[in-house]
Amino acid sequence: MTAPFEITLAPLDSRKPISTMLGLSVALHVGGVATWLYLHRISQQAPSRVISDVEIIVRAPAPRVAALKAPAKPSTWNFLKLALPSVPKTQAPLEVKAPEELKRKLIDLPKRLDESKSRMAKQLETLDLDRRRANLAAMAAAPLQARTARALAEPPKLEEVGRRRASKEILEMAQVAEERRGRLAVVQELSTAVDSRQARASAAQPLALEQEVAAPSRKGMLDKMAGLLAGDTPLREPQAGPALPRKLEPVQLPDLPVQRSAALTEKRKAVEIEGPLSKRKVTAYELPQFPAWLAVRGVAEAEVRIRFLVNPGGEVLPSMRVEQTSGFGALDRLAMESLKRWRFEGLAGATGNQWGIITFRFILE
């Protein structure tokens, strides 16, 4: 380690400025070199670190780049070569072969299926011993021989279709059936007429004029008609019976009470109020009319429920809301506009508002 040194600066003399500046420069350089040596010595005394297990990486040599050849200098001969005609070189023809297409053979599916069916038939023939014993050819030829021996029927002529008349027996049976159907219809009409007459007779007063001849009972008449239809008794000629009176005196029927259901007589209310306001007296009101456009849409009845508030003075507050809509916004607004014009009886000494739910029913009359 070097000993410290001191630099003493002498007072500058105006007579010797060059020598003074030169000495100062040399002193500064010497001090800088001494400082560098001191620092270098300290760095060498620092402890060294040992690093192990490190692979040596060798840098790959840089690829050699071929040196570019300098272009040849232009000459007169090369220029003249450009002016001379050139003969094209003939090239041998190239043989190009097109790729061969693969010819795929399609499988004849129907033929394969026929072969499989024939194989199955052969197997069945070998297994079925009864079929092997029977002479099918002889059995099939027998009906053919019988058919050829018979004479073929003459085909019907189209112009004669519909002109043939049925036999007399069939016509008689059809006529009898038609008569029986007509008699059944008459019996049904008579039974309905008797039922309606008995119903009218039970509700009205007895007739003023009694019939001279008592009519046969309904049950006996029906039994007689049923026997005629069944063919048990022979048909007879109609005989002249006792003459009935042609003119009857008018009979006055009593006025029967008309029974009407309570649901029809009771008319639904157009307006209903629920809540605390239901007990409060209404001083002024306005009912909305049934709009014409609602009838055009085919609506006969609609209902709107609105919740509203009334102050102690009896005025309806504008803060109201729809509890149950009618399905038409215009109809709900019409009911709310009418409700704003309602007035209730004032409450003396009350401080709070009362609420209520009003129901407007639009009914087409």
Exposure letters 218-257 (e unless 16+ CB within 10 A, then b): eeeeeeebeebeeeeeeeeeeeeeeeeeeeeeeeeeeeee
What pLDDT does 210 receive? Answer: 44
* pLDDT tens digits, one per residue of 250-268: 444 444 443 433 333 344 6
d(CA 19, CA 27): 12
Give burial (CB, 10 Å; 0-12/13-18/19+) of 357: middle
d(CA 328, CA 360): 13
What pLDDT does 9 receive? Answer: 53
More confident residue, 359 or 166: 359
DSSP for 319-333 reads --EEEE--S-HHHHH
CB 269 within 8 A of CB 361: yes
DSSP helix/strand/coil, 271: strand
d(CA 289, CA 364): 10
More confident residue, 109 or 349: 349
Q: Selecting from 1.10.760.10, 3.30.2420.10, 3.30.530.20, 3.40.190.10, what CATH number does the domain 269-363 have? A: 3.30.2420.10
Q: Evaluate if residue 317 carries a pLDDT over 60.
A: yes
Q: What is the mean pLDDT of residues 275-298?
A: 88
Q: Evaluate if residue 200 carries a pLDDT over 80.
A: no
* pLDDT tens digits, one per residue of 132-157: 555 666 666 666 655 555 555 555 55
2: nearest Cα among 44, 41, 46:
41
Q: Evaluate if residue 360 carries a pLDDT over 90.
A: yes
Confidence of residue 225 (pLDDT cuts 50, 70, 90): low
Q: Which residues contact 107 (CB under 8 A, 6 or more apart)?
A: none
DSSP for 91-133 reads -PPP---PPPPP-PPPP-HHHHHHHHHHHHHHHHHHH-HHHHH
d(CA 259, CA 272): 29
What pLDDT does 109 receive? Answer: 59
CB 326 within 8 A of CB 363: no
Angle at 310 (CA atoms; ends 306, 314), nearest 5 degrees: 130
Q: Count Cα atoms within 13 angstroms, Cβ side, for 187.
A: 18
Task: Write the Ramachandran bin of 176: left for phi over 0, alpha for psi from -120 to 50, otherwise beta.
Answer: alpha
Q: Evaluate if residue 357 carries a pLDDT over 90.
A: yes
CB 344 within 8 A of CB 289: no
More confident residue, 351 or 244: 351
- Going from N- to C-terminal start, the domains of the chain cover 171-199+217-230, 269-363
Mean pLDDT of the chain: 71
Q: Which residues contact 337 (CB under 8 A, 6 or more apart)?
A: 288
Look at the pTM and tell me if it is higher than 0.75: no
What pLDDT does 49 receive? Answer: 73
Least confident of 64-68, 225-229, 301-305, 347-351: 225-229
What pLDDT does 263 receive? Answer: 36
Q: Evaluate if residue 237 carries a pLDDT over 60.
A: no
